[in-house]
Amino acid sequence: MQTPQALLSFENLTLGYERHPAVHHLQGTLFKGDLMAVVGPNGAGKSTLLKGLMNELRPLGGKIRWVEKRPSLAYLPQRSGLNLDFPLRVSDFVSLGHWPRLGAFASVGRKQRQAVGHALAQVGMQGFEKRSLDSLSGGQLQRILFARLLLEDAQLLLLDEPFSAVDEQTTADLLKLIHQWNQEGRTILTVLHDLRQVRQHFPKCLLLARDAVALGPTPEVLTDDNLAKARNMQAPFDPLAPVCEADLEEAR
Ligand SMILES: Nc1ncnc2c1ncn2[C@@H]1O[C@H](COP(=O)(O)OP(=O)(O)OP(=O)(O)O)[C@@H](O)[C@H]1O
Q: What is the reported pTM?
A: 0.89
133 and 170 both lie in a single domain: no
**Does residue 229 fall inside a structural domain?**
no
**Does residue 252 fall inside a structural domain?**
no
Using a 6 Å cutoff on CB, does residue 46 contact ligand 1? Answer: yes
The DSSP output letter for 123 is T
Q: For 71-119, how does the pLDDT look when each residue is reduced to its tens digit (9 = 90+)?
A: 999 999 887 666 766 778 999 899 888 876 666 556 667 777 788 999 9
CA of 17 to the centre of ligand 1 (A): 9
In this structure, what are the phi and psi dihedrals at residue 60, rounded to the nearest 5 degrees? -80, -25
Cα angle, residue 35 at apex, residues 136 and 177 outer, rounded to 5°: 35
**Does residue 243 fall inside a structural domain?**
no
Q: How far is CA 23 from CA 1, 49, 60, 237, in A?
A: 34, 7, 10, 11
Query: Ligand 1, residues 46, 51, 193, 208: which to mutate, most atoms within 8 A of Cβ?
Result: 46
Work out the average pLDDT over 128-154: 91
Using a 6 Å cutoff on CB, does residue 91 contact ligand 1? Answer: no
pLDDT at 243 over 70: no
Q: What is the CATH number of the domain that holds 181?
A: 3.40.50.300
133 and 115 both lie in a single domain: yes
The DSSP output letter for 3 is P
**Does residue 81 fall inside a structural domain?**
no
**Does residue 2 fall inside a structural domain?**
yes
Q: For 26-64, how does the pLDDT look when each residue is reduced to its tens digit (9 = 90+)?
A: 999 999 999 999 999 999 999 999 999 999 999 999 999
CA of 47 to the centre of ligand 1 (A): 7
**Does residue 193 fall inside a structural domain?**
yes
Q: What's the half-sphere exposure (Cβ side, CA atoms, 13 Å) at 217?
A: 2
Q: How many domains does the chain have?
A: 2
> What atom of ligand 1 comes closest to residue 23's alpha carbon?
14
Using a 6 Å cutoff on CB, does residue 52 contact ligand 1? Answer: no
38 and 104 both lie in a single domain: no
Using a 6 Å cutoff on CB, does residue 56 contact ligand 1? Answer: no
Burial (Cβ within 10 Å: 0-12, 13-18, ≥19) of residue 208: buried
Query: Ligand 1, residues 13, 23, 48, 78: which to mutate, most atoms within 8 A of Cβ?
Result: 48
Domain that holds residue 176: 1-71+155-221
Tell me what ipTM this predicted complex has.
0.98
Determine the Cα–Cα distance for residues 165 and 20; give it in Å rounded to an integer: 31
